[in-house]
Structure 1
C-alpha cells in the first residue's frame, strides 16, 4: 500500500501528519510521500525527516480581490500539478491534514478517483477542510464539536496522531535535572509556543513573583529570550526550549496556549493545564479547543484579556490544594486522550 499525505502551513497541520507517517513507517512499513507548500516550513522540515516531498504554490482566499484572484489562479495550477504528482506516485490513499494546500490535492485526487481521508485537528473546522470535505471519503475529527462542520455520514472521531506519541512518552530524569529546578515546591511549566508570546509574558512578569508557593519554568521561545529575561525571579527560571514530553511528568501543571497539537498531547499524557488560547489565530480556534477541554472536565481556561493574578492563583490553588479534584481531571484528560489514534487511523486507511 502506498500513502500520500498532504499538509502544510503551520505546525498544527504538519506535526500530526509526521506523527502518523512515523507510526506507519515503524509498524506497517508502507511508503509515505508528502505534498505541501513549496515556500513554507514543511518544505524543509519534512525532507529533513527522511520523507519524499513535492511542493505546490498555493495561498489562502483572504485579502483583497486581487489577492483572492491570485489565490484562485494558483489553486488551478496546483490542481494540475497535483494530478501529475498523483499519476506519478499512484498512491492508494491520500490523507489531507488541512491548510489551504490540501484543497487542490483533494480535488485532483477525486478527479483521478483516488480514496481521500481528511483529518481535522481543531474543534472548529478550517475553511480549507470544510471545502475539501466534499471530495473526501472519510473525515477524521478530534473533537465531537467538529462533527457539525462535515457531512455526518463521513465523520469518525479518532483523535490526533500526536496523542499516540504523547501517550508513549518517557520521563527523562537527566533532562529535568539539567534544568536545576527546586522541586521542594510545586512546579509549574509555562509554554507559549515556539515563538513565545510577548503579550502574555508582559502580564506574567507582574504576576508570577507574587505566587511564591510555586516554582515556575518559563519556556520563552528562541526569538523571545532577550525580552523574557524580565520574567526572571526567585521562583521563575527562563529557558528558550525544552523537550516538553521528556520532562512533563515532573510538573504539577502547565500554563500554555491551546493549539491542536498541544491540546492532544496534554490530554493523552494526563497533564493538568491552565489554557490561555491565542486570540490571534484563524477562526479563534484555540478558544474553541480550550472550551471543549474545559467542558469535558480536564482543563481550566483564562482568555488572554482576563489574565490576572486572581484567576491564575485560583486555578493553581485548585490543582495543588484539591488533590481529589486534580486526580479526577487527570483521569478525564486521559479518557479524552485518544491514545490509540494512530492505530485506529491506520485501520481506516487499510479498510477504505
Structure 2
C-alpha cells in the first residue's frame, strides 16, 4: 500500500460487544497510524453497534438487518435477505471506494463483505473465538486473509489463509497492561457481557447484602435486558438502591462505555467467558471468576475459561455451581478479596496470557491487502 492516507477502509461487525469492540480497537489503531485514512463502520441498524461506533467518533452506516440465521424456511429467507442487501450495498460501496473490507463476525457483517467480494474489493475477517460463528465460516471461503485470536480455530478454515493476531482490545484497556495491582481495595466488577447474564445478575443480587456488609464496593453491569429484573430483585430484598449508589457501595448499570476506567478501578471481576472479555481481562491484568455461558456453541466459553484457570490466571465457576442452593457467592468473593497474595499471582499469570499488540498486528495485515 503506497499511500494509505488516500485510502478508505470499511470495518463491519454487529450483534454483540464481542464482535464490535475488537473492530473499534482496530479503528483506533488505524487512526493512530494513519490519521488521514477514512474509516467507515457498517453494521446492523437495530443493534448496539450504531450507538457504540457513534460514541467512539467514527462514521457509521446502518443496514436494516434483522434476525439471526436459523434453520428451515426462516434460515433460507434470511440468507436471501442478506444476499439482496449485499447487492443493494454495492452502490454505497462504490461511493466509499474502500481499498479493503474487514469483518469481525456477526450476521450484520455479511452484506458489506459480500458486496466487497462482488465488487473485487479484498476482504479480510477476524475470528475472536476458538470455535467460529456461522458468518465467519461462510465468509472465510471468499476472504483473502483469516485473522484469528486463537490458533485452535485454524482447523475450521483454510490454514494457508490464517494468521494468528490475537484479539484486539481498545487502547484504554491495553494501556493497563503494566498497572500495579499489588494493593487491592475490595472492589468487585460484575459483567455479563454486552447483553447481560441472568444467572450472574440474580446470584449477585442474592449475595449483595453480605457483600455490602463486608465493605466490598461493587459495580454491576446487568445488560439492557437484565437491568429492570435486577432492580426489582434488589427492591424485593429491601436494598436502598439510591442510597447505595450515592455512597459508592453499589453501582448498577445496563452498559459500561468506558471499560478501561472500570477495569483500572477494580480488583476482581465476576464475568462470562466470551473471547473479547477474556482478551480485555488479560490486557488489564485483572484476576477474575469466570462463569461460562453453558449453551455457547461447542461450549467454547468453558474452553476459554479453562485456558486461564489451568494457568492460575482465573477461577472457573460453572453456572450449575453458581446457582446451587448451598453456594455462598459472597463468601467465595470475600475469600479471594481477603487474599492479596493470591490475587497478585492471578494478576501476574493473566498478564502472561495477554496479546496487547493484537490491534497493531491486525492493522498490519489489513494494510498489506489495501
Same fold (TM over 0.5): yes
Matching residue of 1:267: 282
Where does structure 2 lack aligned partners over 5 or more consecutive residues?
1-6
**CA RMSD of the aligned region, Å?**
3.2
The yes-or-no answer on 1:146 pairing with 2:153 is: yes
Aligned to 1:16: 22
- Deviation for aligned residue 1:317: 3.5
1:99–1:45 CA distance, 2 compared to 1 (3 A): same
* Contact 1:106–1:132 under 8 Å retained in 2: yes
1:296-307 mapped onto 2 (5 Å cutoff): 296-307=311-322
Change (3 A) 1:167 1:87: same
Q: How many residues align?
A: 339
Deviations 1:116-154 (A, max 9, x none): 110112222111111111111111111232222222222
Query: Which segment drifts farther, 284-293 or 335-344?
Result: 284-293
Which of these residues, 239, 242, 259, is aligned with residue 251 of structure 2?
239
Cα shift readout 1:210-263 (whole Å, capped 9, x = no counterpart): 5676624141534333333439599x9431236543143443311112223321
Separation in structure 2 between the aligned mates of residue 20 and residue 184 of structure 1, nearest angstrom: 31
Change in Cα spacing, 1:77 to 1:246, as seen in structure 2 (3 Å) is same
Cα distance, 1:291 vs. partner?
Answer: 2.7
Does 1:336 pair with 2:337?
no
- Taking structure 1 as the reference length, the TM-score comes to 0.83
Q: 1:194 Cα shift?
A: 4.7
Question: Does the 8 Å contact 1:32/1:51 carry over to 2?
Answer: yes
- Distance in 1 (CA, whole Å) between partners of 2:113 and 2:139 is 6
From 98, 120, 123, the counterpart of 2:127 = 120
Indicate the residue corresponding to 1:2 in structure 2: 8
The alpha-carbon distance between structure 1 residues 342 and 207, as it changes in their structure 2 partners (threshold 3 A), is: same
- Give the secondary-structure state (helix, strand or coil) at the position aligned to 1:201: helix
CA drift at 1:114: 1.9
Pairwise mapping of residues 209-220 of structure 1 onto structure 2 (< 5 A)?
Answer: 209=209, 215-220=216-221
Q: Distance in 1 between matches of 2:51 and 2:262?
A: 27
Aligned to 1:8, what secondary structure does the other structure show?
A: coil
Deviations 1:292-327 (A, max 9, x none): 33244411111111115368756763674371x543
Q: What whole-Å deviation, never above 9, does each CA across 1:88-119 have from its counterpart, x for those lacking one?
A: 22211110011112233333322333221101
Secondary structure of 1:246's match?
Answer: helix
Q: 1:163 to 1:142 in 2, by over 3 A?
A: farther
Q: How does 1:176-325 map to 2 (within 5 A)?
A: 186-194=186-194, 196-207=196-207, 209=209, 215-221=216-222, 222-223=227-228, 224-229=230-235, 230=237, 232=239, 237-241=249-253, 243-279=258-294, 281=296, 284-307=299-322, 308=324, 309=327, 313=331, 317=335, 320-321=338-339, 323=341, 325=342
| 1:131 corresponds to 2:138 | yes
Distance 2:159 2:152 in 1: 12
Q: For residues 123 and 100 of structure 1, what CA distance do their matches in structure 2 show?
A: 18
Give the 3-state SS of the residue equivalent to 1:162 in structure 2.
coil
Q: Does 1:166 align with 2:178?
A: no
1:174 match: none
Q: Which residue of 2 aligns with 1:60?
A: 68
Tell me which residue corresponds to 2:4.
none
CA distance in 2, matches of 1:295, 1:62: 35
Contact in 1 for aligned 2:17/2:194 (Cα 8 Å): no
